[in-house]
Amino acid sequence: MNYLEEYEKWCTDPAFDEETKKELLEIRGNNEEIEDRFYKELEFGTAGLRGVIGMGTNRMNKYTVGKATQGLANYILEQGTQDKGVAISYDSRKMSDEFSLQTALILNANGIKTYLFEKLRPVPELSFAVRELNCTAGIMITASHNPPKYNGYKVYWDDGSQIVEPRDKEIIEKVREIRDFKEIKTISKEEAIRKGLFNIIGKEIDDKYIDTLKKLVLNPEIVKKEGKKLKIVYTPLHGTGNTVASRLLKELGFENVYVVPEQEKPDGNFPTVDYPNPEDKKAFKLALELAKKVDADVVLATDPDADRLGIYAKDSKTGEYMTYTGNMSALLIAEYRISQMKEQGLLPKNGMLITTIVSSDLAKAIATNYGLECIEVLTGFKNIGAVIKKAEENKDKTYVFGFEESYGCLIGDYARDKDGISAVMSLCEAAAYYKSKGMTLWDQMLKIYEKYGYYKEDQISIVLEGADGAEEIKSMMTNMRNKDITQIGDYKVITFKDISRDYVKNMVTGEEGKANLPKSNVLYYELENNAWCCVRPSGTEPKIKLYMGVKGKNEEDAIDKLSKLKTAMDTLVRNA
């Protein structure tokens, strides 16, 4: 069936309600729009669903959400774990509350117990709830940091981590087996409650989550003392973060927390930002204005589902607020926590620091300095969660810290996804600790570079939307994969890895081997002089992503090297 036939089916089939048909009839004659909505099905991939909200097979709507949920329900029933239940949370995006209720009731119609949060809550609290309630799975309705027109559907398994191989493929297969929307089971909320299947959760999980985080504070007395003086500006960017963040900071003893008033309340339109992403400097405009007004020490922002954290900190020499990349903020937390754990005799001998292949090599230097094993995994925090689970099962390694460059880290094993709330807590604790030493967080960041070397990283996203864009991305990856690239900019290529083929080639000796990583559409180039590049298509957005990193003699040298490598890599991929 081609896209026009599929469109006509949605406009006429009794399976689709009148509201759906009305929306679709309004675009009749607009072939470009119709093609974009119907040229493919919104795929339930390894990260779940994510797409533009609207009617059509390639959109986030009650039909695509229903199909995904029925497929997941069939999988849970096949596993025989339906009595353990499923925890469900959602963020502030359009349709999030409707999709979360629909998801719960479809699971209930299949005899599966659900625990739905009373109101929106962050991703990390959902991950925590799955473990705390001993659920078989968890679902988060969110499109994370995407623009307002998007929503999404992330699936977690019983360890609180997003689904990984082979379970992700098995669930995807169950979703694909749903060929007709009539297969989706339904039940009324009243009947589900009567049967004991539909349950609401809230404050009791908040309390346990917050208490768990508070126990991870390493210097509570310093926090109480300096927390009276430290000034913090925080924005949840209209998302879930402030459902717990302000309460947590207050209970720890931080008395001067200023939440950006225009961005405090949840709002799926994200009216004050173009893009609700703490990676985007423009998202900090109002927070920085407030910071200058109150003379804040640190400025923090979480994305709508509060798994990512962005930060600015004051430079004591210039008085300017300095921005941090995701690598910088995570490794600032890592250096603080690991150094304090060592000082307090809490650092395990079999400890591990987990990072991703596109994150800063500074992680390796910190791990080596403290005698930790540094483990690299593919992009995606679920891969970090998988390593934690394996170590827990084998009882051979102890998790200390994990992060990825995309503004996310996890300071303990209480959850299995990146946690912007605990990152807020940890950075505020670190700010209090360094303030007691007469330093700002920016002063400490510079000390880290002086100690380990000037590591700098960046990335480029080439956005290519629609069916033609998807083909162009595929072509770029194929062309890069088939080229014997021996030089990128000023750097010789030492090693080339094609993760999708489990292939490694030493470009100096010609020796070939295996990458020993799960197969993924990723190309990695290890360069001379501690530099590297990586290329991969995004799993959730219509873009191809380029990552690169260097190590310089000083900050200026690192910035110059990174700029040149970035230009070289961009040119190479676009001309592939």
Q: Check 92, 96, 127, 144 and give the catalytic one.
A: 144
Structure tokens at 548: 């690169």
Helix (H, G, I), strand (E, B) or coil at 426: helix
Structure tokens at 277: 């992403």
Give the number of other Cβ atoms within 10 Å of residue 286's Cβ. 18
CA 556-561-562 angle, 5° bins: 100
Instruction: Rounding to the nearest 10 degrees, give the CA dihedral for residues 369, 411, 247, 241.
Output: 110
CA distance 120 to 243: 8
Residue 373 exposed, middle or buried by CB count within 10 Å (0-12, 13-18, 19+): middle
- β pairing state of 373-377 and 351-356: parallel
CA distance 420 to 379: 18
Angle between the N-to-C axes of helices 555-574 and 466-482, in degrees from 0 to 180, rounded to the nearest 10: 110
Contacts of 107 (CB under 8 A, 6+ apart): 69, 72, 73, 76, 86, 113, 114, 197
**Which phi and psi angles does 41 have, rounded to 5°?**
-85, 145
118-150 as b/e, with b when 16 or more CB fall inside 10 Å?
Answer: eebbbbbbbbbbbbbbebbbbbbbbbbbbebeb
CA distance 328 to 448: 10
Structure tokens at 361: 């090599």
What is the 3 state secondary structure string of 385-417? Answer: HHHHHHHHHHCCCEEEEEEECCCEEECCCCCCC
CA distance 428 to 526: 35
Structure tokens at 150: 């998007």
Q: Is 144 a catalytic residue?
A: yes
* Cα Rg of the chain, angstroms: 24
CA 339-221-449 angle, 5° bins: 30
CA distance 424 to 233: 11
**Which phi and psi angles does 5 have, rounded to 5°?**
-65, -40
Active-site residues: which are they? 144
